[in-house]
Amino acid sequence: MGWVFLALIVGAVFFAISIYNRLVAGRNRYKNAFAQIDVQLTRRHDLIPNLVEVAKGYMAHERETLEAVINARNIAVSGLKDAARDPTDPEAMKNLAQAEQGLSGALGRLFALSEAYPDLKANENMMQLSEELTTTENKVAFARQAFNDAVMEYNTLRESFPNNFFAGWFNFRAAELLEIEDEAKREVPEVSFS
């Protein structure tokens, strides 16, 4: 009878260790996925000053737009640093999402304005930077999707029974999705048959 009781205790301990290790692995997966976002967003943030420098020569009297891009970039860099410090902080993730959304809006205005400057559009540096930024935006989108998938898996693991007891005991906090809204993607296209 004593051996059966001891076997049950040992089995319960191994079961608890298994749950704990899966929670740790899930947390590490989403933190690693965030590190990939960090790499891509840092690249994006590093490209922007070069883009603004190229545009300055052609758009000297569009100073407000150029300053708005730089200010939005600086806010996004700060938001990324805060989120990278603790990807489990929901407030930091919300702030990062808002900062990136603001940066995308400022860049959109810059590119829309650059359409009025044919010499700027034809500038080789501007074309190269625009292409690199577009490529980086695509990489950010893929990295964000991988991060959100890892967060969803972790949160599901964390909230499932009996894992939820261990998650609470060992302070495994819920992870926050990174949702960067792009209003342009949500707009319904206008169709006209005139």
Q: Could you tell me the sign of the dihedral formed by the alpha carbons of 34, 134, 138, 185, in that order?
A: positive
| 6 assigned to some structural domain | no
Residue with tokens 């996004």: 76
10 in a structural domain:
no
Asked if the structure places residue 188 within a domain, the reply is no
Let me know if residue 151 belongs to a domain: yes
pLDDT tens for 100-113 read 999 999 988 888 88
Instruction: Give me the domain span that covers residue 91.
Output: 15-178
Residue 98 lies in a domain: yes
Q: Give me the CATH number covering residue 106.
A: 1.20.1440.20
Q: Looking at residue 182, what is its pLDDT?
A: 58
Written as six digits, the tokens of 111 are 């590119």
The token pair at 154 is 């972790």
Closest CA to 73 of 53, 88, 57, 90: 53
What is this structure's pTM? 0.76
In whole angstroms, what is the distance from residue 60 CA to residue 66 CA?
Answer: 9
pLDDT, tens digit (0-9, with 9 covering 90-100), for 27-68: 999 999 999 999 999 999 998 898 888 887 777 667 788 889
Mean pLDDT of 157-166: 89
Q: Does the N-terminal peptide bond of residue 162 adopt cis geometry, omega within 30 degrees of 0?
A: yes
Confidence of residue 96 (pLDDT cuts 50, 70, 90): very high
- Angle ∠(98,75,71) on CA atoms, nearest 5: 115
Is 130 a domain residue?
yes
Dihedral Cα 115, 116, 121, 123, nearest 10 deg: -160
Q: How many folded domains does the chain comprise?
A: 1
